C-alpha cells in the first residue's frame, strides 16, 4: 500500500517533493508523486474566489486510480472552503485527502517568506489529513498532529508527529471508515 501525492492545478514540484520523506517517515509507507490534475471548475466559487473542498475532494477521488487500498493526497495552491467556514486548510475522505498551501505561506499573513516555516506547516497539514484517511479522529493532545487547527497559530503549535495514542491507530485503522473530516 502506498501514498500518492497529486498536484491539483499548478504546484511547484519542489513543494510536492518536500512532503515525500516526512510522509514516508510518518506512515512507514512508500510515497509516490502522481500526475497533475486540473482544478475542477465545478468546485470554484467565483464570488468567494475559493474552491469548495468537498467538491474538489470528490473530483480527486474520481480522477486518481489507486492500487489496492492506497491513499491519495491532493495538494493545491487554491484557497479551499467548506460551507459554513471561511476556509479550511484541508479535508479528508475515506482514502483521499487534500490540502491547500494557500494559507501556509508567511506572506499570506503579511510576513516575509520563510521556507522552513512553510515546509513545517505543509508537512503538518499533510500528515493530519492523511491521518484521517487511516481512520484517525481529532486528538486532544496539544502536540499531536491530529489536533484540530482552525488558525495558523494552532498549526504552528503542533508538530508533525502522532502522539503515542494516535500512532498505533495509523496501523490499526487501514480500513478507513470515515466520512469527510476537516
Cα distance between residue 151 and residue 93, in whole Å: 21
Residue from the set 60, 72, 75, 166 that interacts with Zn ion by CB under 5 A: 166
DSSP string for 108-169: GGT----HHHHHHHHHHHHHHHHHHHTT------TTSTTS--SSHHHHHHS-SS--TTHHHH
What cell does 153 get? 497559530
Q: How far is the CB of 162 from Zn ion (least distance, A)?
A: 6
- Spatial contact of 40 and 110, defined as CB atoms under 8 Å apart: no
141 in contact with Zn ion (CB under 5 A): yes
> Out of 58, 129, 154, 174, which one is annotated catalytic?
129
Residue tagged 522552513 (cell numbers): 116
Residue from the set 76, 144, 170, 173 that interacts with Zn ion by CB under 5 A: 144
Residue number, 78 or 126, with CB nearest to Zn ion: 126
Eight-class DSSP state of 142:
T
**Catalytic (active site) residue 54:** no
Residue number, 44 or 103, with CB nearest to Zn ion: 103
The site that binds Zn ion (CB under 5 A) totals a number of residues, namely: 7
Cα distance between residue 96 and residue 64, in whole Å: 9
139 in contact with Zn ion (CB under 5 A): yes
Q: How far is the CB of 133 from Zn ion (least distance, A)?
A: 11
Residues in the chain: 182
163 in contact with Zn ion (CB under 5 A): yes
Residue number, 24 or 141, with CB nearest to Zn ion: 141
**Cα 19 to the center of its chain, rounded Å:** 10
Residue number, 3 or 146, with CB nearest to Zn ion: 146
Please give the residue ranges that form the binding site for Zn ion (CB under 5 A): 139, 141, 144, 146, 163, 166, 182
Amino acid at each position: 500500500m502506498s501514498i500518492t501525492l497529486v498536484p491539483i492545478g499548478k504546484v511547484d514540484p519542489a513543494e510536492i517533493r518536500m512532503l515525500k520523506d516526512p510522509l514516508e517517515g510518518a506512515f512507514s509507507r512508500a510515497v509516490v508523486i502522481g500526475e497533475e490534475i486540473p482544478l475542477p471548475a465545478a468546485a470554484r466559487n467565483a464570488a468567494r474566489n475559493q474552491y469548495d473542498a468537498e467538491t474538489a475532494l470528490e473530483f480527486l477521488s474520481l480522477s486518481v486510480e489507486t492500487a489496492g487500498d492506497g491513499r491519495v493526497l491532493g495538494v493545491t495552491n487554491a484557497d479551499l472552503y467548506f460551507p459554513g467556514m471561511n476556509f479550511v486548510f484541508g479535508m479528508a475522505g475515506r482514502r483521499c485527502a487534500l490540502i491547500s498551501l494557500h494559507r501556509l505561506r508567511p506572506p499570506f499573513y503579511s510576513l516575509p517568506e520563510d521556507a522552513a516555516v512553510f515546509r513545517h506547516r505543509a508537512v503538518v497539514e499533510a500528515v493530519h489529513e492523511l491521518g484521517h484517511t487511516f481512520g484517525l479522529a481529532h486528538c486532544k493532545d496539544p502536540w499531536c498532529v491530529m489536533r484540530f487547527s482552525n488558525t495558523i497559530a494552532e498549526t504552528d503549535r503542533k508538530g508533525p508527529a502522532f502522539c503515542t495514542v494516535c500512532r498505533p491507530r495509523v496501523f490499526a485503522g487501514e480500513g478507513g471508515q470515515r466520512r469527510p473530516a476537516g
